[in-house]
Amino acid sequence: MLGGGIPEKHVVGVIGSYGTGKTTLGLQFIHAGLQNGESCVIISLDEDEESVIENAASIGIDLKRYGERIQIFRLEAVELRKSLEKIESDIPEIIKSMKARRLVIDPISVLETLYDDAGRFRMLSTLRRILKSAGITALIVSEADKDNPTSSKYGLLEYICDGVICLKVVRKDELDEPTLGIEVVKMRRVNHSRKPKPYAITDKGIVVYEEAEIF
Protein backbone atom coordinates (compact mmCIF):
# COMPACT_ATOMS: atom_id res chain seq x y z
CA MET A 1 0.00 0.00 0.00
CA LEU A 2 2.94 2.33 0.69
CA GLY A 3 4.99 1.26 -2.29
CA GLY A 4 7.84 0.06 -0.10
CA GLY A 5 7.12 1.48 3.34
CA ILE A 6 7.31 4.62 5.42
CA PRO A 7 10.13 6.88 4.19
CA GLU A 8 12.96 7.33 6.67
CA LYS A 9 12.68 10.38 8.94
CA HIS A 10 8.96 10.79 8.28
CA VAL A 11 6.71 11.69 11.20
CA VAL A 12 3.55 9.65 10.69
CA GLY A 13 0.22 9.80 12.52
CA VAL A 14 -1.64 6.54 13.19
CA ILE A 15 -5.29 7.37 13.79
CA GLY A 16 -7.98 4.96 14.92
CA SER A 17 -10.75 4.48 17.43
CA TYR A 18 -10.28 2.29 20.52
CA GLY A 19 -9.19 -1.29 19.93
CA THR A 20 -8.43 -0.89 16.21
CA GLY A 21 -4.82 -2.05 16.66
CA LYS A 22 -2.89 1.24 16.90
CA THR A 23 -0.62 0.00 19.68
CA THR A 24 -0.14 -3.29 17.81
CA LEU A 25 0.89 -1.45 14.64
CA GLY A 26 3.32 0.66 16.67
CA LEU A 27 4.88 -2.45 18.20
CA GLN A 28 5.26 -4.09 14.79
CA PHE A 29 6.95 -0.93 13.46
CA ILE A 30 9.39 -0.98 16.39
CA HIS A 31 9.98 -4.73 16.00
CA ALA A 32 10.84 -4.32 12.31
CA GLY A 33 13.44 -1.73 13.32
CA LEU A 34 14.90 -3.95 16.04
CA GLN A 35 15.16 -6.87 13.62
CA ASN A 36 17.00 -4.50 11.31
CA GLY A 37 19.60 -3.81 13.98
CA GLU A 38 18.22 -0.34 14.81
CA SER A 39 17.75 1.19 18.26
CA CYS A 40 14.18 2.20 19.06
CA VAL A 41 12.21 4.22 21.62
CA ILE A 42 8.64 3.77 22.83
CA ILE A 43 7.04 6.62 24.75
CA SER A 44 3.85 5.31 26.30
CA LEU A 45 1.32 7.70 27.75
CA ASP A 46 -1.13 5.06 28.89
CA GLU A 47 0.72 1.86 29.80
CA ASP A 48 3.73 1.08 31.94
CA GLU A 49 6.85 -0.67 30.70
CA GLU A 50 5.75 -4.13 31.90
CA SER A 51 2.46 -3.90 30.09
CA VAL A 52 4.11 -2.68 26.86
CA ILE A 53 6.38 -5.75 27.08
CA GLU A 54 3.35 -7.99 27.67
CA ASN A 55 1.45 -6.46 24.75
CA ALA A 56 4.44 -7.19 22.55
CA ALA A 57 4.75 -10.76 23.89
CA SER A 58 1.07 -11.38 23.07
CA ILE A 59 1.88 -10.91 19.36
CA GLY A 60 5.08 -12.96 19.56
CA ILE A 61 7.53 -10.07 19.98
CA ASP A 62 10.14 -10.57 22.69
CA LEU A 63 11.32 -7.02 23.37
CA LYS A 64 13.65 -8.09 26.17
CA ARG A 65 15.98 -9.92 23.82
CA TYR A 66 16.97 -6.61 22.24
CA GLY A 67 18.43 -5.33 25.53
CA GLU A 68 19.60 -1.73 25.44
CA ARG A 69 18.46 -1.25 21.85
CA ILE A 70 14.88 -0.79 23.03
CA GLN A 71 13.97 1.86 25.59
CA ILE A 72 10.44 2.17 26.91
CA PHE A 73 9.38 5.31 28.76
CA ARG A 74 6.11 5.58 30.60
CA LEU A 75 5.28 9.29 30.81
CA GLU A 76 2.44 10.93 32.68
CA ALA A 77 0.73 13.45 30.41
CA VAL A 78 0.42 15.95 33.27
CA GLU A 79 4.15 15.73 33.97
CA LEU A 80 4.89 15.96 30.27
CA ARG A 81 2.85 19.11 29.97
CA LYS A 82 4.46 20.70 33.02
CA SER A 83 7.91 20.09 31.67
CA LEU A 84 7.56 20.36 27.93
CA GLU A 85 10.83 22.35 27.95
CA LYS A 86 12.55 19.49 29.74
CA ILE A 87 11.12 17.04 27.22
CA GLU A 88 12.40 19.29 24.45
CA SER A 89 15.91 18.68 25.69
CA ASP A 90 15.42 15.09 26.94
CA ILE A 91 13.98 13.50 23.80
CA PRO A 92 16.81 14.67 21.48
CA GLU A 93 19.34 13.60 24.11
CA ILE A 94 17.88 10.09 24.43
CA ILE A 95 17.65 9.71 20.65
CA LYS A 96 21.23 10.90 20.25
CA SER A 97 22.75 8.78 23.01
CA MET A 98 20.99 5.62 21.78
CA LYS A 99 21.46 6.52 18.11
CA ALA A 100 17.76 5.64 17.89
CA ARG A 101 16.23 5.35 14.43
CA ARG A 102 12.55 4.74 15.28
CA LEU A 103 10.21 6.17 17.88
CA VAL A 104 6.58 5.60 18.81
CA ILE A 105 4.47 7.93 20.95
CA ASP A 106 1.28 6.19 22.09
CA PRO A 107 -1.25 7.86 22.40
CA ILE A 108 -0.71 11.58 21.88
CA SER A 109 -4.44 12.27 22.53
CA VAL A 110 -3.87 11.92 26.29
CA LEU A 111 -1.45 14.85 26.13
CA GLU A 112 -3.54 16.85 23.63
CA THR A 113 -6.46 16.79 26.07
CA LEU A 114 -4.53 19.05 28.46
CA TYR A 115 -4.29 22.01 26.05
CA ASP A 116 -6.62 24.48 24.37
CA ASP A 117 -6.54 24.61 20.55
CA ALA A 118 -3.71 27.14 20.31
CA GLY A 119 -1.62 25.38 22.98
CA ARG A 120 -2.23 22.03 21.36
CA PHE A 121 -1.02 23.26 17.99
CA ARG A 122 2.10 24.76 19.60
CA MET A 123 2.80 21.51 21.46
CA LEU A 124 2.40 19.41 18.29
CA SER A 125 4.56 21.80 16.26
CA THR A 126 7.25 21.64 18.94
CA LEU A 127 7.08 17.86 18.89
CA ARG A 128 7.41 17.82 15.10
CA ARG A 129 10.42 20.15 15.29
CA ILE A 130 12.12 17.92 17.90
CA LEU A 131 11.55 14.75 15.87
CA LYS A 132 12.57 16.36 12.60
CA SER A 133 15.80 17.76 13.96
CA ALA A 134 16.59 14.41 15.58
CA GLY A 135 16.13 12.84 12.13
CA ILE A 136 14.15 9.91 13.51
CA THR A 137 11.30 7.98 11.88
CA ALA A 138 8.32 8.34 14.20
CA LEU A 139 4.79 7.07 14.60
CA ILE A 140 2.47 9.24 16.65
CA VAL A 141 -0.62 7.32 17.70
CA SER A 142 -3.90 9.17 18.17
CA GLU A 143 -7.50 8.41 18.97
CA ALA A 144 -9.87 9.19 16.12
CA ASP A 145 -12.56 11.85 16.20
CA LYS A 146 -15.74 10.09 17.23
CA ASP A 147 -17.69 11.35 14.20
CA ASN A 148 -14.91 11.17 11.63
CA PRO A 149 -12.68 8.07 11.71
CA THR A 150 -10.11 9.58 9.32
CA SER A 151 -9.54 12.57 11.57
CA SER A 152 -7.60 12.66 14.84
CA LYS A 153 -9.48 13.52 18.04
CA TYR A 154 -8.59 17.22 17.81
CA GLY A 155 -8.08 17.45 14.04
CA LEU A 156 -4.58 18.95 14.28
CA LEU A 157 -2.16 16.03 14.25
CA GLU A 158 -2.74 15.29 10.56
CA TYR A 159 -1.41 18.75 9.62
CA ILE A 160 1.91 18.40 11.43
CA CYS A 161 2.58 14.88 10.14
CA ASP A 162 4.29 13.83 6.89
CA GLY A 163 1.94 10.91 6.67
CA VAL A 164 -1.32 9.63 8.13
CA ILE A 165 -2.43 6.00 8.39
CA CYS A 166 -5.96 5.37 9.47
CA LEU A 167 -7.39 2.24 11.14
CA LYS A 168 -11.14 2.02 10.85
CA VAL A 169 -14.05 -0.15 11.86
CA VAL A 170 -16.38 -0.54 8.89
CA ARG A 171 -19.88 -2.01 8.94
CA LYS A 172 -22.09 -2.61 5.93
CA ASP A 173 -25.13 -2.44 8.18
CA GLU A 174 -25.34 -1.44 11.80
CA LEU A 175 -25.89 -5.01 13.04
CA ASP A 176 -23.29 -6.60 10.76
CA GLU A 177 -20.05 -8.00 12.04
CA PRO A 178 -17.47 -5.21 11.79
CA THR A 179 -14.64 -5.32 9.27
CA LEU A 180 -11.35 -3.58 10.01
CA GLY A 181 -10.00 -1.35 7.25
CA ILE A 182 -6.60 0.31 6.91
CA GLU A 183 -6.14 3.40 4.77
CA VAL A 184 -3.14 5.56 3.88
CA VAL A 185 -4.67 9.03 4.01
CA LYS A 186 -1.46 10.87 3.21
CA MET A 187 2.25 10.08 2.84
CA ARG A 188 4.43 12.87 1.52
CA ARG A 189 6.74 11.88 -1.35
CA VAL A 190 5.05 8.48 -1.79
CA ASN A 191 2.76 7.50 -4.61
CA HIS A 192 0.52 5.50 -2.29
CA SER A 193 -2.81 3.88 -2.83
CA ARG A 194 -5.80 5.56 -1.15
CA LYS A 195 -7.97 2.51 -1.23
CA PRO A 196 -8.79 1.12 2.23
CA LYS A 197 -7.82 -2.55 2.61
CA PRO A 198 -9.16 -5.08 5.08
CA TYR A 199 -6.91 -6.19 7.93
CA ALA A 200 -7.14 -8.49 10.93
CA ILE A 201 -5.47 -8.45 14.32
CA THR A 202 -3.96 -11.90 14.88
CA ASP A 203 -1.60 -13.44 17.42
CA LYS A 204 1.20 -12.29 15.11
CA GLY A 205 -0.10 -8.73 15.00
CA ILE A 206 -1.80 -6.87 12.18
CA VAL A 207 -2.13 -8.68 8.85
CA VAL A 208 -3.28 -6.61 5.87
CA TYR A 209 -5.15 -8.40 3.07
CA GLU A 210 -3.83 -6.35 0.22
CA GLU A 211 -5.48 -8.44 -2.50
CA ALA A 212 -8.92 -8.34 -0.86
CA GLU A 213 -11.68 -5.74 -0.96
CA ILE A 214 -13.49 -4.48 2.12
CA PHE A 215 -16.95 -5.49 0.86
Q: How far is the CB of 20 from ligand ATP (least distance, A)?
A: 4
**114: which residues sit within 8 A by CB, 6+ positions away?**
77, 78, 81
**Binding partner of 203, given Mg ion, ligand ATP, none, CB within 5-8 angstroms per partner class:** ligand ATP
Any contact of residue 203 with ligand ATP (CB under 6 A)?
Answer: yes
Q: Which of 130/196 has CB closer to ligand ATP?
A: 196
Angle (CA) 46 30 63, round 5°: 80
Chain centre to alpha carbon of residue 58? 18
Nearest-approach distance from CB 16 to ligand ATP, in angstroms: 5
Site for Mg ion contains 20 (CB under 5 A): no
- What are the two backbone dihedrals, phi and then psi, of residue 197, each rounded to the nearest 5 degrees? -120, 145
Binding string to ligand ATP for residues 155 to 194, with x set by CB under 6 A, is what?
Answer: ----------------------------------------
Residues making up the chain, counted from first to last: 215
Closer residue to Mg ion in complex, CB, 23/39: 23
Assess 21 for contact with ligand ATP (CB under 6 A): yes
73-76 contacts at long range (C-beta below 8 A, 24 or more positions apart): 73/41, 73/42, 73/43, 73/44, 73/49, 74/44, 74/45, 74/47, 74/48, 74/49, 75/43, 75/44, 75/45, 76/45
119 lies in the site for ligand ATP, by CB under 6 A: no
Interface residue list for ligand ATP (CB under 6 A): 16, 18-24, 58, 201-203
Interface residue list for Mg ion (CB under 5 A): 22-23
